[in-house]
Amino acid sequence: MGRDGAARATTGDDRRARLADVAARIEPTVLAGDQRLPVLPALDALVPGLRRGSTLSVDGPAATSLALATAAGPSRDGAWVAAVGFPSLGLLAAAELGVSLERLVLVADPGPDDGDGAGAWPAVVAALVDAFEVVLVHAGQRVRAADGRRLVARTRERGAVLVQVGCSRPTRTAWPEGADVALTVVDATWEGLGEGHGHLRARRVTVEAGGRRGAARSRRAELWLPSAEGGVEPVLPAPVPLRPRRSELA
């Protein structure tokens, strides 16, 4: 691969080119840090793909649905998803949001919580992180700081995505340094239900994304979660009339 040319390289540009050539030859095709699991198109504005090895926290009034929606993208793409500590997960909702139930595994009761977080939970999550692309954990679990750090390190090493779902009021994450990406539902409004008629059709939510490092710049998006057709869709701005209405002319 141009070794003769490289041997004659003298100028700085040539050397740089040679270095780039070598770097291109020895690097893995995709850097581990750049590997992202795809998300649903509607969530692209919030998280452009879940970076492998990162931690996520999902919070707010529609946290469970939002967490399922985040897992739906990778799941559709063939990823395996595990949920730990959700004895009451609505699986039908998961399927409607796009999670493939063929590749969903639940550990409803990850062992007794003995108060200081020393149960089987860390070992269970660690085992799942080894193999599953997306692992959802419930925030209600007490986690010792050392266990939390170990899990985060393991997630990074294995290239999984660890999602903490829950009502962390006041903010209490299982990860000592906080999550890499934090999604918070700040506002949720249901539509379709009247006073004695109709049924729940769609929910309009406002989600804020923040986090650390690359994700530190906060983003905001309005979504239909779920939309009237099921699934997740971005809220499109209301169409602006091209011409003023007749009544306005008068």
Partner 1 sequence: MTGDEPVRTMVVWVPDWPLVAAGVPATEPAAAFVANRVVACTAAARAAGVRRHMRRREAQARSPALRVLERDAERDARAFEAVVHALEALTPRLEVARPGRCAFPTRGPSRYFGGDTALAERAVAQVGEVLPPGTAVAVGVADGPFAAAHAARTAHVRGRREEGPPVWVVAPGKAAEHLAPLPLAALDRPELTDVLARLGLRTLGDLAALPAADVLGRFGSDGLEAHRLARGLDARPPATEPPPPDLVVEAELDPPAEQVAPAAFVARGLAEELRQRLDARGSVCIRIVISAETEHGERSERVWRDEGALTAGAIADRVRWQLDGWLNANARQRPTAGIVHLRLQPDEVVAADGRQLGFWGSDAGAAERALRAVARVQGLLGAEAVLVPEYAGGRDPAEQLRLVPAAAVDLSADRPAARPEWVRAPWPGRLPNPSPATLHADAVPVEVLDARGHPVVVDGRCQPTAEPALLRWRRGGARRITSWAGPWPVDERWWDPQRWSRRVRFQVVTDDGAAHLVVLEGGRWTVAATYD
Which residue from 72, 132, 161, 175 is in contact with partner 1, where contact means CB under 8 A? Answer: 132
Q: How many CB atoms lie within 10 A of CB 9?
A: 15
3-state secondary structure of 142: coil
Q: What whole-number distance in Å separates Cα of residue 236 and Cα of residue 227?
A: 12
Binding to partner 1 (CB under 8 A): which residues in 180-209?
187-190, 193-203
CB of 244 to partner 1, least distance (A): 34
Among residues 66 and 215, whose Cβ is nearest to partner 1?
A: 66
Which residue from 8, 11, 23, 88 is in contact with partner 1, where contact means CB under 8 A? Answer: 88
Is residue 243 involved in binding partner 1 (CB under 8 A)? no
CB of 249 to partner 1, least distance (A): 37
- Nearest by Cα to 132 from 167, 61, 82, 170: 82
Q: Strands 181-193, 81-84: parallel, antiparallel or unpaired by DSSP?
A: unpaired
Binding to partner 1 (CB under 8 A): which residues in 28-87?
28-29, 61-65, 68, 78-80, 82, 87
- Nearest by Cα to 159 from 56, 52, 77: 52
Is residue 5 involved in binding partner 1 (CB under 8 A)? no
Is residue 107 involved in binding partner 1 (CB under 8 A)? yes
CB of 247 to partner 1, least distance (A): 30
- Nearest by Cα to 50 from 137, 180, 223: 180
Q: φ, ψ for residue 15 (rounded to 5)?
A: -65, -40
**Which sign does the torsion angle of CA 137, 90, 159, 24 carry?**
negative
User: Which one-letter DSSP state was computed for residue 33?
Assistant: G
- Of 13-21, 116-124, 145-153, 171-179, the window that binds partner 1 (rule: CB under 8 A) is 116-124
Residues that bind partner 1 (CB under 8 A): 25-29, 61-65, 68, 78-80, 82, 87-96, 100-111, 120, 123-124, 127-128, 130-133, 187-190, 193-203, 226, 230
